[in-house]
Chains A and B, each alone.
Chain A
Amino acid sequence: MRAVRPTAPRAGAVPDVVTPAAGAPRPAAKASQPRSALFRSTAFRLTLLYMGVFAIFATFALGYVAWNARNLIEDQIRQTIDAEITGLSEQFRQGGIRRLVNVIEQRARGPGASLYLVTTPFGERLAGNVEQVPVGLLDRAGESEIPFSRNGEDQPSARPAVAIVRVYLLPAGFRVLVGRDASERDRLRAIVRRAGGWSLGVVLVLGVLGGFVIARRILKRVDAMSATTVSIMSSDLKDRLPLAGNGDELDRLAGNLNTMLDRITVLMGGIRQVSDTIAHDLKTPLTRLRNRAEEALRPNATQEDMRRALEGVTDDADNLIRVFNALLMIARLEAGQAREVMAPFDASAAAQGVAELYEALAEEAGASLTCAITPDISAFGSRELVGQALSNMIDNALKYGRPADGSAPMITLGLAREGGNVVFSVRDHGPGIPPDQHGRALERFGRLDASRSQPGFGLGLSLVRAVAQIHEGTLELKDNAPGLAVVLTIPAARAQGEPDDRTAR
């Protein structure tokens, strides 16, 4: 709800409500924060979080690629070994062990050759380019990984090469070992590890930088906003947060904060106005009360004088109590209390009762009160509160509803059902209230200047409005052409069969 700012009756320049940037003092002092503040800052924590997430994803992606590549290489090695074994067993089948040994000796000499070893069933070496194998390796068929060195080759590095080998048993008990150097695979592993290290480092650095820059950018605005808020709070709530104008989350936040500030200003203005009015409007009757008491204390006052003065004092005090009761009641209604007395009630009878109560008074005042009440309407709410509201509405009409030409006031109390609502109305043919003053007429102590001469404190209609609010209904002032129509709308009682519980609200 965007409320209208009350025109503060204050001398001097009234600054524009939404002052973009210009009015907001910049927080220069806040820029040099102590070091430890950095580690506690959201920026730092966000950066760490970004970085952690980045690193985890990078490691995962790289690891996945490496694992796949390794599998691919191992598969290739195995296929090669399979093909060789197939070929060698074919040679053995065709030419026996002699031919196999020949073929192996031939193949083992080639550049980049595989690893070969043929032994007797007892493990004596027949041919091949493998110097040593672990004990017992040849006893069983199957695949394994062994360190190896080729015949006639020096060990160039301290680290022994690793090969994937497969042992195959030939029909006569001869054993064939075929293997391939797996260093290609290990080289890849090393490359990946190095790449992983580097990229992780890069990710860390980039993450720190990027996260920090991004977080700073956002949080700088948040910091600026919070600093501006502090300065707004310490001043008189006149300044507003600057808007970047791009409509992002922070802009919306700033906008909402500004709206909240507007609302607070309006409410504070309302409170100030009410307390001003209370002080002002109650001063008069209190002064009168005091004067009467003083009158009774005059040295030459007779018994009768004193009695009359004290009676006047009692009346004045009663009136003041009445005002405070009304104020309290409005406050409690606005706070949403009294909800639990809500129940379906006969609105027609309630309206009729209030009309009956006021008919005599209206007649006495030379007015006429007529009813236009539809029978058998039930409403949901508090009969008591609605009764009071109607009585205030009629009271108001009796006070202010006298036509300008001085003829007898004609007041109509109406009740009708409109859809799911029950509509009470009190219409008069008095001078009415100009539309631009309708809001003012509903405020506490909101008496229009024209009515200042009449008795009353201007609480009547604000109480009616509070009653409307607690019923989740509305109170409207309308032009009765001529005159004023005060229309109170509250929900109707629900159809039969529904429980008349109070908890349903």
Chain B
Amino acid sequence: MRLLIIEDDSDSATYLVKAFREEGHVADHAADGLTGYAMAEGGGYDVLVVDRMLPRMDGLSLIRSLRAQNDTTPVLILSALGQVDDRVKGLRAGGDDYLPKPYAFSELLARVEVLSRRRAAAASAEPTHYKVADLELDRLTRKVTRAGEDIVLQPREFRLLEYLMRNAGQVVTRTMLLENVWDYHFDPQTNVIDVHVSRLRAKLDKGQAVPLLQTVRGAGYSLRVEGR
């Protein structure tokens, strides 16, 4: 995955570039809005990580200008102004995701990976059928089976599993689940999400030799066969 990080704070930019490279991605860095815009326009990036406040061209104008040129590269906005109204403004400008500072790198990584995958998937129509190992989910009949046996899920559990399967193999964080399954963007103060996941896990993995719903320590969850 090729990433462009547009961030004026050199410390955090250096940290991000290094961290993404360690994860096996290609990461470039632009220190101001105009340079970033020129580099992004050159194309070839899978995801742009854009700070909201940038010298020479602020983050939102940069995104608007790109979108005006029909550039659909997914953009994740980083911002110190992590509040409801700012999120709305950022997404209205054409951002695809929004992450308030301070953030955990694992959260940023998970979101960037999902964004780049979503772009690849957007080319083809969303599948109606998901399959991870012997777990299957049919979006039309809303039927879930594991090794051929039916699993009965509540509607919310179904949406949770659907999201996990759509991003199978990726790490999804608690806040991503809260956003996509419950459509709330706040930080849950307690382990509310964990309880839902462990219930789903009980239904999926109970009595199975291979657990599928993994907990990724310090980051979130991932639906995959352990050991990748």
Given contacts A325-B82, A338-B84, A357-B192, contact A387 B104 (CB under 8 A): no
Contact of B104 among A318, A340, A358 (CB under 8 A): A318
B184 A360 Cβ-Cβ under 8 A:
no
Is B184 a contact partner of A388 (Cβ separation < 8 A)? yes
Specify which chain A residues have a CB less than 8 angstroms from the CB of B218 in the assembled complex.
311, 314
Which residues between 267 and 299 of chain A lie within 8 Å of chain B, taking CB atoms? none
Chain B residue numbers with a CB within 8 Å of A340 are 85, 88
Cβ-defined partner of B192 (8 Å) among A360, A382, A388: A360
A460 located at the interface, meaning its Cβ lies under 8 Å from any Cβ of chain B in the complex = yes
Instruction: Specify which chain A residues have a CB less than 8 angstroms from the CB of B88 in the assembled complex.
Output: 340-341
Name the A residues within 8 Å of B82 (CB-CB). Answer: 325, 328
Give per-residue flags for B188-222: 1 if the beta carbon is below 8 A from chain A beta carbons, else 0.
11111001100100000000000000000110000
Residues of B within 8 A of A395 (CB): 189-190
Taking a contact as CB atoms under 8 Å apart, the answer to whether B84 and A360 are in contact is no
B183, CB-defined interface residue at 8 Å? yes
Count of residues in A whose CB is under 8 Å from the partner chain: 33
Which residues between 23 and 68 of chain A lie within 8 Å of chain B, taking CB atoms?
none
Chain B binding surface SS class: loop
Residues in chain B near residue A341, CB distance under 8 A: 84-85, 88
Question: Are A382 and B187 CB-contacts (below 8 A) given A314-B218, A356-B156, A360-B196?
Answer: no
Write out, one digit per residue, whether chain A residues 344-364 have a CB within 8 A of any chain B CB (1) or not (0): 000000000110111011001
Which of B183, B186, B192 makes the CB contact (< 8 A) with A361? B192
B14 is an interface residue with CB less than 8 A from chain A: no
- Determine whether B15 belongs to the interface, using a CB cutoff of 8 Å to chain A: no
Q: Does B227 contact A (CB under 8 A)?
A: no
Q: What's the minimum C-beta distance from A379 to chain B, rounded to whole angstroms? A: 16
Find out whether the CB atom of A392 lies under 8 angstroms from the CB atom of B85: no
Is A322 interfacial (CB-CB < 8 Å)?
yes
**Measured between C-beta atoms, what is the minimum distance from A439 to chain B in Å?**
22
Q: Nearest chain A CB to B146's CB is how many angstroms away?
A: 21
When distances are taken between beta carbons in the complex, the residues of chain B under 8 Å from A392 are: 189
Q: B80-120, CB under 8 A of A: which get 1 and which 0? A: 00111100100000000000101010000000000000000
- Whether B84 and A353, one on each chain, are in contact in the complex, defined by CB atoms closer than 8 angstroms, is no
Answer whether A332 and B184 are a contact pair too, CB < 8 Å, given A311-B218, A341-B88.
Answer: no
What's the minimum C-beta distance from B108 to chain A, rounded to whole angstroms?
14
Asked whether, in the complex, the Cβ of A361 is within 8 Å of the Cβ of B195, the reply is yes
B-contact bits for A321-344, CB 8 A (1 contact / 0 none): 110010011001000011111000
Please measure, in the bound complex, the distance between the C-alpha atom of A353 and the C-alpha atom of B156, giving whole angstroms: 10
Residues of A354-397 whose CB lies within 8 A of B: 354, 356-358, 360-361, 364, 382, 384-385, 387-388, 391-392, 395
Complex CA gap A318/B218 in Å reads 10
CB-based nearest B residue for A315: B218
The answer to whether A338 and B83 touch across the interface, beta carbons within 8 angstroms, is yes
Selected A-B contacts with CB under 8 Å, 11 pairs: A322-B189, A329-B83, A337-B83, A338-B84, A340-B88, A341-B84, A361-B192, A384-B185, A387-B184, A395-B189, A456-B189
Chain B residues at the A interface, C-beta cutoff of 8 Å:
82-85, 88, 100, 102, 104, 156, 178, 182-192, 195-196, 199, 217-218
A357-B184, A395-B189 known; 17 other A-B pairs, CB under 8 Å?
Answer: A311-B218, A318-B104, A322-B187, A325-B100, A325-B187, A337-B85, A338-B83, A341-B84, A353-B182, A357-B182, A357-B188, A361-B191, A361-B195, A388-B184, A391-B189, A391-B192, A398-B190
List residues of chain A with CB under 8 Å of any chain B CB: 311, 314, 318, 321-322, 325, 328-329, 332, 337-341, 353-354, 356-358, 360-361, 364, 382, 384-385, 387-388, 391-392, 395, 398, 456, 460
